Chain A
């Protein structure tokens, strides 16, 4: 009995020595898609890097980068990224891949957005019908995109009535809420396809070029945060923009649908 107990105590307090680690803040949509589970083991194998992922919204990911709590960020909100770099928090911005946003809603589609030709038309129809709509409300890339879509349609989300529900949660949690309320929601395609609790919801609108969703890699500036592991970040960037990443990202699919398109430029 005592011997078992000692063994158990050893197991609990044993600490594994960590070799080459670096921290990267990534968006929930990137992680919920399942792509991270494919890329991380390959990164570990090829570069020996143990990448610790912090899965947060784009807004928080950039904040973590500003505070120097992570070594790099992988996010999708162009204007926020440009500010991050121009203010000197990041060294540069490197595009890695893209996917697209889709509009999800109840199968019977009360706002008839599936018949619309443009996303602006779809958003206008949603606001006109006042069908329940779930907004991420967490300052993430998807949330910023959704706001931009309303504004493009000449609408102001702040003025919307109770049909517009801001939940302040990650992609998966918001999809859960939408499923529970039988509401419309803007999601990235990958998170939607990988989402297990689709009950009653369906993909209703996609394909408008405005819904293009670019992911970019931003190393945190070591001039501001000397503890950042610049060398490891460089190795990671090289891998993420290299041929192995290309084949893995382009080959990643769920239910036979390709989710991401690799588009990193190599000089």
Chain B
């Protein structure tokens, strides 16, 4: 019990003193996870909507596979990305292993199926509603996808936030491909793993509280910017 209190105190002091290392690590966490989120959204939002609009032969199998990939184990993704990027691997010449780029690649792979799947679920409902209208207006497929994306933007926000949540709290993949190098690839989650291994639970817990606070802040910020949950709006 005392350790939890020590953790709360450590977190409090870390934040109050604006500890330089902490700010550095936090910004790196945001850098990696937000970049991964943007890339994943660019891929997953149109792809998920396309999957809802388009009828094709292996659609059912594609959706089932996609849903299964939502639970892709990060450690395995990390290991595969590691082997691909290692100097011995096919992409070794790029020299990307143990860089933030490698961490971003791993996180994109982890969160894209998740965002795509949630997008698909939401867009399917919306498509059922808009189907007759959009067909009768004789719209092209691109126009339909764009309409759905715009009108379903609140649901897509949820999809993106779910992806962000998975990325920012993820440790298994990025500790493998990033190597947890101080000042280069150390982020909040890998720093927590490191402090725990040193037996410094207070600092680890402190970092943990900072991570949770950060997640909350990003969510509040997105909601206030997109003006959801205001009176008179849905």
Residues in A neighbouring B92, C-beta threshold 8 A = 68
Cβ proximity bits B118-156 to A, threshold 8 Å, 1 near / 0 not: 000000000000000000000000000000000000000
- Indicate if the CB atoms of A170 and B201 lie closer than 8 Å: no
- Indicate if the CB atoms of A23 and B98 lie closer than 8 Å: yes
Instruction: Please pick, from A28, A32, A68, the residue contacting B88 in the complex, using a CB distance under 8 A.
Output: A68
Q: Given A67-B86, A67-B87, A227-B87, A196 and B181 touching (CB < 8 A)?
A: no
Could you tell me the distance between the alpha carbons of A28 and B196 in the complex, rounded to whole angstroms?
13
Residues in B neighbouring A179, C-beta threshold 8 A = 199
Cβ proximity bits A213-231 to B, threshold 8 Å, 1 near / 0 not: 0000000000001010000
Instruction: Please pick, from A52, A173, A194, the residue contacting B98 in the complex, using a CB distance under 8 A.
Output: A52
Q: Is there a chain A Cβ closer than 8 Å to B212's Cβ? A: no
- Indicate if the CB atoms of B27 and A11 lie closer than 8 Å: yes
Q: Is there a chain B Cβ closer than 8 Å to A125's Cβ? A: no
- Indicate if the CB atoms of A69 and B181 lie closer than 8 Å: no
The smallest beta-carbon distance between B36 and chain A, in angstroms, is 12
- Indicate if the CB atoms of A195 and B198 lie closer than 8 Å: yes
Q: Is there a chain A Cβ closer than 8 Å to B111's Cβ? A: no
- Indicate if the CB atoms of B197 and A54 lie closer than 8 Å: no
Per the 8 Å Cβ criterion, residues 149-180 of A in contact with B are 169-173, 175-176, 179
Q: Is there a chain B Cβ closer than 8 Å to A197's Cβ? A: yes
Could you tell me the distance between the alpha carbons of A28 and B27 in the complex, rounded to whole angstroms?
26
Per the 8 Å Cβ criterion, residues 13-38 of A in contact with B are 13, 23, 28, 32
- Indicate if the CB atoms of A69 and B196 lie closer than 8 Å: no
Residues in B neighbouring A147, C-beta threshold 8 A = none
- Indicate if the CB atoms of B98 and A69 lie closer than 8 Å: yes
- Indicate if the CB atoms of A196 and B198 lie closer than 8 Å: yes
Q: Is there a chain A Cβ closer than 8 Å to B184's Cβ? A: yes
Residues in A neighbouring B169, C-beta threshold 8 A = none
Per the 8 Å Cβ criterion, residues 195-253 of A in contact with B are 195-198, 225, 227
Cβ proximity bits B170-188 to A, threshold 8 Å, 1 near / 0 not: 0000000001111110000
- Indicate if the CB atoms of A172 and B197 lie closer than 8 Å: yes
Per the 8 Å Cβ criterion, residues 194-215 of B in contact with A are 194, 196-201
With CB as the reference atom, state the residue of chain A lying closest to B85. Answer: A69
Interface centre among A40, A69, A195, A225 (most CB of B within 10 A): A69
The smallest beta-carbon distance between A69 and chain B, in angstroms, is 5
- Indicate if the CB atoms of A52 and B184 lie closer than 8 Å: yes
Residues in B neighbouring A114, C-beta threshold 8 A = none
Could you tell me the distance between the alpha carbons of A239 and B13 in the complex, rounded to whole angstroms?
37
Could you tell me the distance between the alpha carbons of A170 and B95 in the complex, rounded to whole angstroms?
26
Residues in A neighbouring B184, C-beta threshold 8 A = 52
Could you tell me the distance between the alpha carbons of A52 and B86 in the complex, rounded to whole angstroms?
16
Q: Given A13-B31, A54-B179, A32 and B95 touching (CB < 8 A)?
A: no
Q: Is there a chain A Cβ closer than 8 Å to B77's Cβ? A: no
Could you tell me the distance between the alpha carbons of A24 and B184 in the complex, rounded to whole angstroms?
13
Q: Is there a chain B Cβ closer than 8 Å to A43's Cβ? A: no
Instruction: Please pick, from A12, A32, A227, the residue contacting B34 in the complex, using a CB distance under 8 A.
Output: A12
Q: Given A69-B98, A172-B197, A227-B87, A12 and B27 touching (CB < 8 A)?
A: yes
Q: Is there a chain A Cβ closer than 8 Å to B97's Cβ? A: yes
- Indicate if the CB atoms of A12 and B30 lie closer than 8 Å: yes
- Indicate if the CB atoms of A194 and B27 lie closer than 8 Å: no
- Indicate if the CB atoms of B97 and A69 lie closer than 8 Å: yes
- Indicate if the CB atoms of A32 and B87 lie closer than 8 Å: no
Q: Is there a chain B Cβ closer than 8 Å to A80's Cβ? A: no
Could you tell me the distance between the alpha carbons of A69 and B102 in the complex, rounded to whole angstroms?
13
- Indicate if the CB atoms of B200 and A53 lie closer than 8 Å: no
Instruction: Please pick, from A28, A40, A53, A197, the residue contacting B201 in the complex, using a CB distance under 8 A.
Output: A197
Residues in B neighbouring A40, C-beta threshold 8 A = 182
The smallest beta-carbon distance between B60 and chain A, in angstroms, is 40
- Indicate if the CB atoms of B181 and A52 lie closer than 8 Å: yes
Q: Given A52-B181, A53-B182, A227 and B199 touching (CB < 8 A)?
A: no
25 contacts between A and B (CB under 8 A): A11-B27, A12-B27, A12-B30, A12-B31, A12-B34, A13-B31, A40-B182, A52-B98, A52-B182, A52-B184, A54-B98, A67-B87, A67-B88, A68-B88, A68-B92, A69-B97, A69-B98, A171-B197, A172-B196, A172-B197, A173-B197, A195-B198, A196-B200, A196-B201, A197-B201
Q: A54-B98, A195-B199 are in contact. List 9 more A-B contacts (CB 8 A).
A: A12-B27, A12-B34, A53-B181, A68-B92, A169-B197, A170-B197, A176-B196, A179-B199, A227-B95
Interface residues of A (CB under 8 A from B): 11-13, 23, 28, 32, 40, 50, 52-55, 67-69, 169-173, 175-176, 179, 194-198, 225, 227
A-B CB proximity, top 7 nearest: A197-B199, A172-B197, A68-B87, A196-B199, A173-B197, A52-B181, A54-B179
